[in-house]
Amino acid sequence: MRTIQATEAKARLAELLRAVEYGETVAITRRGETIAHVIPAPAGEHADRKRAVARFRRRRSEWRPVAMSVNDILQARHHGHRL
């Protein structure tokens, strides 16, 4: 497990996230005390998210088209708002 000071973690966040993405755990410390652990997300979480997006896209393709222009949608959104 890598240990890093909070100020350095802030400056090198992208690098730390890449390391965590590849399975490393990072301990973040402040004044020598561990304040947080950054750990990889559970392995199935990414796959679950991809499946949910694919399901949504399949269902969306079944929706019937709406005959509204962008202006119609914007007017409907603002209908009833006070100006």
Domain positions in the chain = 1-83
Q: Is the model's pLDDT at 81 over the cut of 60? A: yes
3-state DSSP assignment of residue 75: helix
Q: Which helix (H) or strand (E) holds 36?
A: strand 33-38
Token digits of residue 3: 């240990």
Q: Over the stretch 4-28, which tens digit does the pLDDT of each residue have?
A: 999 999 999 999 999 998 999 999 9
pLDDT for residue 39: 95
CATH topology classification for 1-83: YefM-like fold (3.40.1620)
pLDDT for residue 77: 86
Q: Over the stretch 29-69, which tens digit does the pLDDT of each residue have?
A: 999 999 999 999 887 777 888 899 999 999 999 998 888 89
Q: Which helix (H) or strand (E) holds 16?
A: helix 13-21
pLDDT for residue 83: 54
CA distances from 17 to 56, 68, 70, 79 (A): 28, 43, 39, 44
